[in-house]
C-alpha cells in the first residue's frame, strides 16, 4: 500500500478511535445517572420520542427486543468500564497521531488483550456484531503495527544521514 494512502487510512482509524472513545465516555457518564435501572428501561426512555415519531422505525424494532433480554441493572462497573476504556482509547489514539513511539506497542497490547476477551465472549454469545468488532480490532492492530514500523524506519533513516 502506498505511503500516503496508508497514512490516510491510519489517521482515519485513529480519528475513528477518538470518536468511538468519546462516545463511550459520554454513554458511561449518562449511565452513571441511571445506576440500578434496568437497561431496557433506559433504552425505552432514550428512544421514546423516536418510537412515537415513527412506530415502524427499523432500529427500534431490531434493537428493542434484543435489549429486553438483558435483565441486569446498570451498575457502576458498566458505567466506569465505558468511561475508562473511552479515556484510554482517546488518550492513546492522540499519542499515536503524535507518533509517540511508546504508545504503539502499548496500544497494540491493550487491543490484543481486549480481543482475547472479545473472543471469550464470542464463544458464549456467537454474536455477529462481536465478530465484526474483533475483525475491526485486528485491522487496527495491523494499521498501528504498520505505522509503528514506518516511523521506526524513518527514525533509523534520519539517524544514518550525516549532518552537514
115-136 pLDDT, tens per residue? 999 899 889 888 888 899 899 9
Q: Give the position of cell 440500578.
A: 36
Task: Map out the domains of the chain as residue ranges.
Answer: 3-24+80-160
Per 3-state DSSP, the chain is made up of helix, strand and coil in percentages (nearest 5) of 80, 0, 20
What whole-number percentage of the chain has pLDDT above 70?
74
Model-level pTM greater than 0.75? no
What pLDDT does 158 receive? 81
User: What are the pLDDT digits (tens) for 32-72?
Assistant: 887 777 766 676 676 666 665 666 666 656 666 666 665 56
34 neighbors 161 (Cβ within 8 angstroms): no
Torsion angles phi and psi, residue 73, rounded to 5: -90, 155
Give the residue among 136, 13, 22, 37 at the shortest CA–CA distance from 83.
Answer: 22
Torsion angles phi and psi, residue 35, rounded to 5: -60, 130
Residue 80 has pLDDT above 80, yes or no: yes
Q: Taking residues 131-146, report their average pLDDT.
A: 93
Amino acid at each position: 500500500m502506498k505511503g500516503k494512502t496508508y497514512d490516510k487510512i491510519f489517521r482515519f482509524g485513529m480519528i475513528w478511535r477518538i470518536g468511538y472513545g468519546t462516545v463511550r465516555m459520554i454513554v458511561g457518564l449518562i449511565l452513571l445517572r441511571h445506576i440500578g435501572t434496568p437497561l431496557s428501561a433506559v433504552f425505552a426512555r432514550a428512544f421514546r420520542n423516536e418510537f412515537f415519531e415513527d412506530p415502524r422505525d427499523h432500529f427500534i424494532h431490531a434493537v428493542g427486543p434484543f435489549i429486553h433480554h438483558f435483565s441486569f441493572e446498570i451498575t457502576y462497573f458498566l458505567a466506569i468500564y465505558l468511561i475508562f476504556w473511552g479515556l484510554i482509547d482517546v488518550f492513546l489514539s492522540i499519542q499515536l497521531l503524535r507518533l509517540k513511539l511508546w504508545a504503539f506497542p502499548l496500544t497494540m497490547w491493550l487491543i490484543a488483550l481486549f480481543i482475547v476477551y472479545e473472543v471469550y465472549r464470542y464463544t458464549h454469545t456467537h454474536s455477529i456484531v462481536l465478530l465484526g468488532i474483533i475483525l475491526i480490532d485486528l485491522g487496527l492492530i495491523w494499521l498501528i503495527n504498520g505505522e509503528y514500523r514506518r516511523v521506526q524506519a524513518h527514525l533509523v533513516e534520519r539517524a544514518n544521514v550525516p549532518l552537514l
